[in-house]
Amino acid sequence: MSTQEGTTDRADATPGTPAADLRGRVAELHALRERVEQGDERATAAQRSKGKLTARERIGLLLDPGTFQEVEPLRRHRATGFGLEDRRPHTDGVITGWGTVHGRTVFVYAHDFRIFGGALGEAHAQKIHRIMDRAVAAGAPLVSLNDGAGARIQEGVTALAGYGGIFQRNTRASGVIPQISVMLGPCAGGAAYSPALTDFVFMVRETSQMFITGPDVVQAVTGERVSIGALGGADVHAEVSGVAHFAHDDEETCLEEVRYLLSLLPQNNRETPPAALPEDPVDRPCEALLDLVPADGNRPYDMRRVVEEIVDDGEVLEVHERWAANVVCALGRLGGQVVGLVANQPLVQAGVLDIDASEKAARFVQMCDAFNIPLVTLVDVPGFLPGVDQEHNGIIRRGAKLLYAYCNATVPRISVILRKAYGGAYIVMDSRSVGADLTYAWPTNEVAVMGAEGAANVVFRRRIRAAEDPEAVRRQLVKEYRAELMHPYHAAERGLIDDVIDPADTRRILVESLRMLRAKHADLAARKHGNPPQ
């Protein structure tokens, strides 16, 4: 937690003697509001010298023009001591209110770093609590624009209690309304837990950082020397930790992407995502897929291109694009309806599932299920990643998170097996046995316990070892195993998939299947909540 040294308005900025008539008082009100909105010029210059926008400029970029309705703009703290009684700026360093994004209501709060460094005190926290409560009551998304120096040290434990109230509300709102955290400056210590509790975290390179303990503390305790950016910058959290779902080069691009994400999400968990009139023909053949995906299961290809070929107009918003890249999670539209897509990525580690990929996909599946977004799973998975590190770091319990998420999901679920679907990873990737509503497969599919080579080595190891020419015998047995148990119609013959389809028909079949499943209703057993693997 840091001290606050930002330039602020002083208590003597209060208006003078009230005017004698109502018009005079209204003029006085407008003058006060103008001063509050303009803020201190020196503090504004300091903010811009860091390459950062002001809180009000950020809100202006996020919301539709002219729609922001601010609440409690004249709020001031009541704290005393350490000179606080002489520094009582209006807003108390946070701007709260609501407006619209693409015509739909969105609630927002934005730390104003120009006032107390955006640090949180009692009044500051109460403003945030109130806007969070209003967002839940109204059933509308909440966006936080974070740029604060942590708790206001001069206010002591009351500031810490303020954070507790935010965390509690983040948790109560989880799965009820979409919560989006946009990191536009520092976020250190306990303050970092609020973004971690929300559905999506955006960061901006060079200007935003998140960490529990800063570089000085890290060096003092562990002896490690690290810069702020290397410890908790946007790229670190987008590629290494997985804390950030999106990282952008500037605030303008970041906030435009937040607007796009909101266009794909429902207002709350009682609604479905907003539909759009599709310009892309529903029955458009996807002939390009025949060339994009090699029939040889050992040859890589870019699953992103497959996803772009299938969805409306090739437009997707990939979540966690740079973290755990062996699985792709994205939002897009099929026939104008929003869908969540989960797909193995053969370009990265052959699309194998590991700890990070399992956790990434599990959280995405849970988010989609919470907000009534149907799931489409594209399967090309050789199995779980073997290794001592994976086992010792908990691949069993952490891989089970993805299994739990799929089994618990009640939204429409469709899986398409493109090529490999081996072992436990096949089951986990939304197979029929864990509740997928429909499962399709391409003629290149191979559904089996393991690959033919590995299976032959296990099943026929004695026969191979005893042969005069073990390699020749092994090749023959691999061929026989593949022909007997891994031909593309083996799973269909046993009722494990609904149909083997022409890849070119994938888009049309998915759209038609989702249309059929639109009214799906599933009841879960009564319970407070499940106990998912951690």
* pLDDT at residue 150, rounded to an integer: 79
Angle at 18 between CA 94 and CA 40, to 5 degrees: 35
Known catalytic membership, residue 424:
yes
* pLDDT at residue 452, rounded to an integer: 59
DSSP string, 175-198: TTS-EEEEE-SEEEGGGGHHHHHS
Known catalytic membership, residue 452:
no
Split at pLDDT 50, 70, 90, the class of 438 is: very high
Which of the following is catalytic: 43, 159, 409, 425? 425
Name the more confident of 17 and 58. Answer: 58
Split at pLDDT 50, 70, 90, the class of 446 is: confident
The whole-angstrom separation of Cα 129 and Cα 165 is 7
Split at pLDDT 50, 70, 90, the class of 5 is: very low
Interval 345-366 mean pLDDT: 97
The whole-angstrom separation of Cα 127 and Cα 123 is 6
The whole-angstrom separation of Cα 31 and Cα 12 is 15
Known catalytic membership, residue 297:
no
Which of the following is catalytic: 60, 165, 229, 424? 424
pTM here?
Answer: 0.90
Mean pLDDT, all residues of the chain = 89
Return the closest-CA partner of residue 300 out of 288, 308, 292. 292
Split at pLDDT 50, 70, 90, the class of 417 is: very high
Which of the following is catalytic: 118, 189, 383, 451? 189
Which of the following is catalytic: 190, 242, 336, 454? 190
Split at pLDDT 50, 70, 90, the class of 10 is: very low
The whole-angstrom separation of Cα 220 and Cα 132 is 37
* pLDDT at residue 493, rounded to an integer: 87
pLDDT for residue 242 is more than 70: yes
Classified as helix, coil or strand, 310 is helix
Task: Let me know: does 399 contact 381? Beta carbons within 8 Å.
Answer: no
pLDDT in tens, 85-122: 767 788 788 999 999 999 999 999 999 988 887 788 88
Interval 390-414 mean pLDDT: 96
* pLDDT at residue 492, rounded to an integer: 87
pLDDT in tens, 466-503: 777 777 767 776 676 676 666 788 888 888 899 999 99
